[in-house]
Amino acid sequence: MTTDEEETAVRQGGRRVSIEKMLAPVVPLRGRQKRKEDPLLTVYRVQLVEERRIAVPRLRVRTSAHAAQVAWRYLDRPDREHFVVLLLDLRHNLLGIHTAAVGCIDEVRVSPRAVFKAALLRNAEGVVLAHNHVSGPVVPSPADRKLTRELARAGNALQVCVHDHVILGRSARERFSFLENGLL
């Protein structure tokens, strides 16, 4: 296999190729032979994939009520708990919505990595977190409160502002805002 073919194999997720072989056209090795302990380079490509489109005009998310309406419209009457992230630019324009996790009827487990991955890829300045309670009551559980604190700290470390966390009930009007209730 030639060097060009090896580079193609790496880019297409084929077999792993040593750094020397991959960089041979760029960096001359001055006659050095490949050793067993030479490191291998794994090449990754991260790509945003459009899941679906929902019809919304260019909109600015200014209030918790508005964030709840946008999230509720995106969720479309779910039968399980979903954790979604509204991605916002510096002026609070909606850049996109990311489903970070889907749970069962009474809980959803989500990691900071899942929450902030799309925000970083879209270069979002901030996010509004939202999840639904299928059972209806929008009172945050101790786990909801702990998760919100952890995500706010993680966002701060990544320089992505967590503007609010909204819990949705059976409609967009049934909501709890961590910001409005002084918990964020």
Handedness of CA 25, 27, 31, 36 (dihedral sign): negative
Domain that holds residue 28: 3-41
Radius of gyration of the chain, Cα coordinates, nearest whole angstrom: 22
Determine the pLDDT at residue 84: 95
Is the pLDDT assigned to residue 67 strictly greater than 60? yes
Number of domains in the chain: 2
| pLDDT reported for residue 56 | 54
pLDDT of residue 92: 93
- Shared-domain flag, residues 88 and 11: no
C-alpha to C-alpha distance for 54 and 16, rounded to whole angstroms: 40
- Give domain status of residue 171, yes or no: yes
89 and 31 part of one domain: no
Residue 52 maps to a domain: no
Is pLDDT of 144 > 90?
yes
Q: Is 47 domain-assigned?
A: no
For residues 86-115, average pLDDT: 91
What DSSP element (H or E) covers 101? strand 94-102
Question: Are 22 and 79 part of one and the same domain?
Answer: no
Judgement on whether residues 28 and 114 belong to the same structural domain of the protein: no
Is 32 found in the same domain as 89?
no
116 and 153 part of one domain: yes
Q: Which range, of 23-32, 114-123, 133-142, 172-181, averages the lowest pLDDT? A: 23-32
Instruction: Tell me what pLDDT residue 9 has.
Output: 43
Q: Average pLDDT in the 75-104 region?
A: 90
Q: Which residues of 161-173 are buried (b: 16+ CB within 10 A; e: fewer)?
A: bbbbbbbbbeebe
Q: Is the pLDDT of residue 153 over 80?
A: yes
Whether residue 54 is contained in a domain is answered as: no
Note whether residue 51 is domain-resident: no
Considering the domain architecture, whether residues 112 and 164 belong to the same structural domain is answered as yes
Residue 59 inside a domain? The answer is: no
